[in-house]
Amino acid sequence: MFHVLWRPHLTTSCLHAAEALSRGLPLADQRLAEAIATPAEEVRRAVASDSATAPRLWRWLFALSTSAGSSRELALGALTKTVGRQRAELLLNRLASSLAGLEAAVRRAFPDLVGELELRMRPLREQWEARGPGLMRGVALRTEESLVPEEAQVIVVQPALGGDGQAHLSANAVRMEAVLANPHAELPEVVRLAWLLAQLQLDLPAYSDRIHADRLPHVAAFAALMPVLEAAQEVELVQCSPTLLERAISVWRLPVPADVNAAQVVLQWWETYRESRPAFPVALTALNQMFG
């Protein structure tokens, strides 16, 4: 039985908005944008002090954000995972201070943010309880039973971008904005949630031992697209097509190299997989190679 634990979270909401700004994305929530403009820039600078490790540091900050007690503990844990304990000690104060400032700014602007998120997440949770089990069964039938986790966390965050989410494979959790309505009618948010959850098992050694850890989140995101979209069509949530695949890649903000037609790569890979049905680790390695 697939079990989802729903957790609205302040710290993860703070990081979510700050990371979006660090990528140059405009926030849909103007009140949040104004509240965090300065502290989010301080976090961005602290994370980017070593540009080579910044993406990995962001990933660890998110992965540890629900379990670390204080900003200092979060910073130390994420830095240690990213650059090792000795170097972490040198970078700790700046990052911890910036994270504390960010969270304080959000608390001032949203004194009951967790309570608000608990209310906002109800529509999505109800949709998931109605359609989620069928979606995940469809994914398992199209791939492998072991690709669906027995349980996972949905970390619910303030809808800074008006609809967004990310899978955190190392934490067996996904981050999901608590939007009250589907921003894209042709792609309901419950389908985005299934896509995120379908990625979580792909960091198991059986699937990922031939893929570099820094590339795995990218490959996992693309690998989960077609099984989820086909499963969503089966439960009458979408009309799966190449056009819808392109739309999902765009509105779910998958990073695509300028010289790559990602939808074409995914469709070609999926067609080959459906025809020959190799073990999914073999298929995942092939998709990694197809992206170059």
Sorted by where each begins, the domain ranges of the chain are 11-110, 121-290
Amino acid at 156: V
Output the six-digit token pair for 175. Answer: 């981050």
Tell me phi and psi for residue 238, to 5 degrees. -140, 170
Max alpha carbon distance in the chain (Å)?
Answer: 56
Q: Please give the pLDDT value at position 1.
A: 55
Nearest Cα to 249, choosing from 257, 12, 197, 272? 257
Nearest to 251, CA basis, from 127, 190, 168, 162: 162
Using DSSP, state whether 238 is helix, strand or coil.
Answer: coil
For residue 75, give the amino acid letter.
Answer: A
What is the predicted pLDDT for the residue at 33?
96
Phi, psi of 229 (to 5 degrees): -65, -40
What is the distance between the alpha carbons of residues 134 and 168, in angstroms, rounded to a whole number?
22
What confidence score (pLDDT) does residue 183 get?
96
User: Contact at 8 Å (CB) between 62 and 12?
Assistant: yes
Q: Coil, strand or helix: which one is 179?
A: coil
Token pair, residue 130, equals 């109605």
Q: Measure the CA–CA gap between 64 and 153, rounded to whole angstroms.
A: 13
Q: In the chain, which residues have pLDDT < 70?
A: 1
Task: Tally Cβ neighbours within 10 Å of residue 183.
Answer: 17
Task: Determine the residue type at 268.
Answer: Q
Asked if 40 and 22 count as a contact pair (C-beta separation under 8 A), the reply is: yes
